[in-house]
Structure 1
Amino acid sequence: MKGPLIVGVAGGSGSGKTTVARRIAEALPPSAVTTLEHDAYYRDRSDLSYEERCQLNVDHPDSLETELLVEHLVALRAGSAVDVPLYDFKTHRRSRESRRVQPTPVIIVEGILVFVEAAVREQLDIKIYVDTDADIRAFRRIRRDIEHRGRTFESVREQYYRTVRPMHLQFVEPSKRWADVIIPEGGDNKIGIDLVIALVRQMRAAEIVDRGLAG
């Protein structure tokens, strides 16, 4: 297998997939791993007012510019750098700035809908699904949106019933069938995460060691 090892981490909103992705990344030399968030590829609907953007169904696959993510993964696998969008969840707009990402031995792609599109799945060498009970996911999402995204409880609750739960049942949960590995309980499953880390290290041992020595 040539080029970067691309690891996909999917799961419902609040499942702990970001924690799993971070734990994998932290176990590798910083210069050997890059993380891409699918959320960064939300479409920039500047044609809509702020109020209209607040009502968008951001849990539907069409809300994401997944074709750009695929282009970036193909470029990174070929050894080229890419400019990843930056998305502001408070204004529901893309920033004018972007993040320059260089190819590394390991690339982690994280997001609730990472396994939904076949074009993305074809770019993933390892597919991990983080499976966490719905009540835990809901409470984690409430806390995140209120503390870090400036949302009110009422708006979080309205969105959960209007789009988050239906889209999870329609798209996210069924995508679990594509996973190579399922990790229950997210970041709390130390054994599951350690097994994935060991596999990643084994599959890219030489490159990781080289980056670790260089870094």
Structure 2
Amino acid sequence: MTKAYVIGIAGGSASGKSTFSDSLEKELQTLRIQTFHMDKYFKPKENRPVTEAPITGKIYMDDNHPETVDLAKLKEDFFAVLEEQYDVIIIEGLLTLWDKDIYQACDLKLFVDCKADERIVRRIRRNMTWGLTYDQITDVYLDMVRYRHDEYVEPTKWRADLILNGSLPIRQALDIIACYIKTAHSTGKDG
């Protein structure tokens, strides 16, 4: 390949995007890889949007809105790396397939789909390890996250080349995608 093969991975909160991305990176470790996790580009808390929940009227920091991510910095870093000598670039996050510039730069677009009930259970387990209470996690999910998912994340599913089942073990999908990328790299074809 003369240019890096770019893989975009999107999906809902706690759908398995990061898990799949990390596993894919390990599977492709013989190649030169750069990975971008959108979560690492959250703006400082004081610069994130605050929104009123549509039903309860409670005010929340809106971490599932495009304005919460420093997309300008992410795109600056991402597009700079496209000029470097990487074989594969992975970019994953809620808005990977929402942002037009990022979406158009991807050679392979994946959406990790997972039912809402499973995602909320995963989110509760994960966020409780971060010190949040059950009520804090469920309140923000029910008041904000699910609405932002419907607004910004779910519609991007139809931009994906492949939709992965986030409820199943990832081994088979991982093997197929890694094999495809390794073959494209070894033959010099970019998809």
TM exceeding 0.5:
yes
CA gap 1:47/1:174 in 2 versus in 1, 3 angstroms: closer
Query: 1:71 and 2:62 equivalent?
Result: no
2:31 touches 2:88 (CA, 8 Å); kept in 1?
A: no
Deviation of 1:153 (Å): 0.9
Deviations along 1:139-175, one digit per CA (max 9) or x if unpaired, are: 001100011x221111101110121100011111100
Normalising by structure 2, we get a TM-score of 0.85
Deviation of 1:24 (Å): 0.8
Aligned to 1:3: 3
Read off the aligned partner of 2:76 and give its amino acid letter. Answer: E
Aligned to 1:134: 116
What RMSD, in angstroms, separates the aligned Cα atoms of the two structures?
2.1
Aligned-partner Cα distance in 2 for 1:24–1:176? 20
Gaps spanning 5+ residues in structure 1: where?
Answer: 49-53, 80-102, 208-215
SS at match of 1:135: helix
1:10 touches 1:111 (CA, 8 Å); kept in 2?
A: yes
Aligned-partner Cα distance in 2 for 1:32–1:137? 32
Q: Say how many residue pairs are matched.
A: 178
Aligned-partner Cα distance in 2 for 1:125–1:186? 25
Deviation of 1:206 (Å): 7.0
Normalising by structure 1, we get a TM-score of 0.76
1:105 touches 1:204 (CA, 8 Å); kept in 2?
A: yes
Deviations along 1:78-112, one digit per CA (max 9) or x if unpaired, are: 11xxxxxxxxxxxxxxxxxxxxxxx5311111111
SS at match of 1:109: strand
Query: 1:194 and 2:175 equivalent?
Result: yes
2:6 touches 2:89 (CA, 8 Å); kept in 1?
A: yes
SS at match of 2:63: coil
Query: 1:115 and 2:120 equivalent?
Result: no
Query: 1:157 and 2:138 equivalent?
Result: yes
Gaps spanning 5+ residues in structure 2: where?
Answer: 49-58
- Structure 1 range deviating more: 109-118 or 188-197: 188-197
Aligned to 2:56: none
CA gap 1:24/1:186 in 2 versus in 1, 3 angstroms: farther
Aligned-partner Cα distance in 2 for 1:36–1:187? 24
Query: 1:173 and 2:158 equivalent?
Result: no
2:6 touches 2:88 (CA, 8 Å); kept in 1?
A: yes
1:70 touches 1:123 (CA, 8 Å); kept in 2?
A: no
Read off the aligned partner of 1:12 and give its amino acid letter. Answer: G
Aligned residues: percent identity? Answer: 29
Read off the aligned partner of 1:2 and give its amino acid letter. Answer: T
Aligned-partner Cα distance in 1 for 2:97–2:146? 17
Aligned to 1:55: 60
